[in-house]
Homo-oligomer: A and B are copies of this chain.
Amino acid sequence: MRSRHEVAVVGAGLVGCLTACYLARRGYEVTLYERRPDPREAAPERGRSINLAISERGIDALRRVGLDEVVMKAALPMPGRMMHAPDGTLSFQHYSADGLRSINSISRSDLNRTLLDAALAMPGVRACFEHRLTGLDVDSGRMDFETPDGPATASAPVVLAADGAYSAVRGRLQFLPGFGFSQEYLDYGYKELTIPARDGEYALDPGALHIWPRGQAMMIALPNPDRSFTCTLFWPKSGPGSFEALDTVERFEEFFAANYADAHALMPDLADDYAHNPIGHLVTMRTDPWQVRGARAVVGLLGDAAHAIVPFYGQGANCGFEDCVELDRCLEETGDDFPEALARYGSRRKEHADTIAELALTNFVEMRDKVASRSFLLRKRLEHGLERLLPGRYVSRYELVSFSTMPYAEVQRRITRQNVAVAAGALGALAAAVAVTARLARRR
């Protein structure tokens, strides 16, 4: 075991806990500082889960520290998407051309507890709960906290922020000159609803991610191990059919029943969910750089603290877990020179995080609007046909994002090349067809 200096990880969420596992394996002393109480002792916040869809990138990051099996035990595979038309007609599409690969539904709170247990079981890892960061001095690595027992301070030569989209650490860095940051909200909110088990069984097919595409709005549902589904309604904040317009339980339920009839029939708790679950917000956040070097300390950002994205590609946690892998790789490459490793990590990961942020925004339009159209279904069939015809040479964007670990920006470059090649092939085929037709015409 190498003896190394201490690392403070602010935030004991998914990325913070996995970071602690990676660092403990390298011999670091890690302290996790978490604003909330110990999640293993407290109930999760209501309506704030958005089930996660763990896919290959996340699984790969877990596998490298031996956590894939324990995590995947609690996950439910979803090999495809099930579209619910307004009249209740269902249509199913596999996510992969071979129909064998799945994204995996898992509850955020269960996953968090598993990762926290794993981190705290590693030598040198400890956690301080109910520690809300109120101050940070980048030069000394000194952190101020508010705790139930009054103010507390701590310091570490390396401070890693894994404290999520509303990161308190990043809030401090934002005041430093040269620190670029943006936050962009969608004009949409979300609300969680529930489809409970019916006679002890799933009320819908549990082997799918369910989508109710409704043009300017949509609902999705992911299965839970207790045979319920967690649904998330994505509606405009204002205008017709919005949370603002449908502001009483009666108006809400009437509109919902008219537009999501098949789901409505499965939701006995709708009024209660509507009344008690908050309306969430959808934000994309970008930072540049992802690390700041002080005189005697260095601060780095991981996960949502560096790059919060909207949930529509199911990649938020997967992308955050990839951060842990890349940081570990950079530490290995630099002989654990933490400032250099963080600089390298940030400059490498930035373009990939920017790419998945864009893809996630684009996918919202696809999910709520295009998946319902015939041309979309046709395109997916064509894509899967090409994938089977040219195995390993033509692969759809969705498969590369969800079922590979190819960095996101490389996925985009590959898709561009593929599209050019397919267009050239199609043009060639067209030219050949024209030539043949012309020859046949001349023979007549």
Chain A residues with a Cβ under 8 A of chain B: 166, 174-175, 177-185, 237, 281, 283
Are A182 and B181 closer than 8 Å at their CB atoms?
yes
20 A-B pairs with CB atoms under 8 Å apart are A166-B175, A174-B183, A177-B185, A177-B281, A177-B283, A178-B185, A178-B237, A178-B281, A179-B183, A179-B185, A180-B182, A180-B183, A180-B184, A180-B185, A181-B181, A181-B182, A181-B183, A182-B182, A182-B183, A182-B184
A226 to B175, CA, bound (A): 36
Chain B residues in 8 Å Cβ range of A179:
183, 185
Apart from A166-B175, A179-B185, A181-B183, what 17 extra A-B contacts exist at CB < 8 Å? A174-B183, A177-B185, A177-B281, A177-B283, A178-B185, A178-B237, A178-B281, A179-B183, A180-B182, A180-B183, A180-B184, A180-B185, A181-B181, A181-B182, A182-B182, A182-B183, A182-B184
Q: Which residues of B sit under 8 angstroms from A166, Cβ to Cβ?
A: 175
Question: Chain B CB within 10 Å — which of A175, A179, A182, A281 has the most?
Answer: A182
Chain B residue contacts of A182, Cβ below 8 A = 180-184
What 10 pairs between A and B have smallest CB-CB spacing? A182-B182, A177-B281, A178-B185, A180-B184, A181-B183, A180-B185, A180-B183, A178-B281, A181-B182, A177-B185
In the assembled complex, which residues on chain B have CB atoms less than 8 Å from the CB atom of A177? Answer: 185, 281, 283
Complex Cα distance, B180 from A178, in Å, reads 19
Q: How far is the CA of A178 from the CA of B166 in the complex (A)?
A: 13
Q: Tell me the smallest distance from the CB of A189 to a CB of chain B, in Å.
A: 9
CA distance A175 to B281 in the complex (A): 12
**Which residues of chain B are near A281, meaning CB under 8 Å?**
177-178
Q: With A and B bound together, what is the CA distance between A183 and B286 in angstroms? A: 10
Q: How many copies does the complex hold?
A: 2
Chain B residue with minimal CB distance to A280? Answer: B177
Closest chain B CB from A226 CB (angstroms): 30
- The minimal Cβ–Cβ distance linking A26 to chain B, given in whole angstroms, is 30
Question: Which residue of chain B has its CB nearest to the CB of A185?
Answer: B178
Which residues from B are CB-within-8-Å of A178? 185, 237, 281
State the Cβ distance, A225 to closest chain B Cβ, in Å: 31
The minimal Cβ–Cβ distance linking A439 to chain B, given in whole angstroms, is 40
Select from chain B the residue with minimum beta-carbon distance to A182: B182
CB distance from A235 to the nearest CB of B (A): 14
Set of chain B residues within 8 Å of A174, measured between Cβ atoms: 183
The distance from the CB of A142 to the nearest CB of chain B, in whole angstroms, is: 21
Nearest B residue (CB) for A180: B184
Chain B neighbourhood of A184, CB < 8 A = 180, 182
Instruction: Name the residue of chain B whose CB is nearest to the CB of A279.
Output: B177
Within 8 Å CB of A183, what residues of B? 174, 179-182
A284 to B, closest residue via Cβ: B180
**Complex Cα spacing A237 to B179, Å:** 13
List chain B residues, Cβ under 8 A from A185.
Answer: 177-180
A237 to B183 CA separation, bound complex (whole angstroms): 25
Chain B's nearest CB lies how many Å from the CB of A409? 20
A349 smallest CB distance to B (angstroms): 19
**What's the least CB distance linking A277 to chain B, in Å?**
15
Which B residues are CB-close (under 8 A) to A180?
Answer: 182-185
Query: What is the minimal beta-carbon distance from A129 to any residue of chain B, in angstroms?
Result: 23
Q: Report the bound CA distance from A180 to B174 in whole Å.
A: 15
In the complex, chain B residues whose CB is within 8 Å of the CB of A237:
178
Inter-chain CA distance A178–B244, complex, in Å, is 14
Q: How far is the CB of A337 from chain B (nearest CB, A)?
A: 19
Output the least CB separation between A213 and chain B (Å): 24
CA distance A182 to B174 in the complex (A): 10
Distance between A196 CB and nearest chain B CB, rounded to angstroms? 29
How far apart are the CA atoms of A182 and B178 in the complex, in Å? 13
Q: How far is the CA of A177 from the CA of B188 in the complex (A)?
A: 11
Which residue on chain B has the smallest CB distance to residue A187?
B178
Q: In angstroms, how far is the closest chain B Cβ from the Cβ of A221?
A: 24
Complex: how many Å from CA A322 to CA B281? 33
How far, in whole Å, are A179 and B178 apart by their CA atoms in the complex? 22
Specify which chain B residues have a CB less than 8 angstroms from the CB of A181 in the assembled complex: 181-183
Report the bound CA distance from A281 to B178 in whole Å.
7
Distance in angstroms from A135 CB to nearest chain B CB is: 14
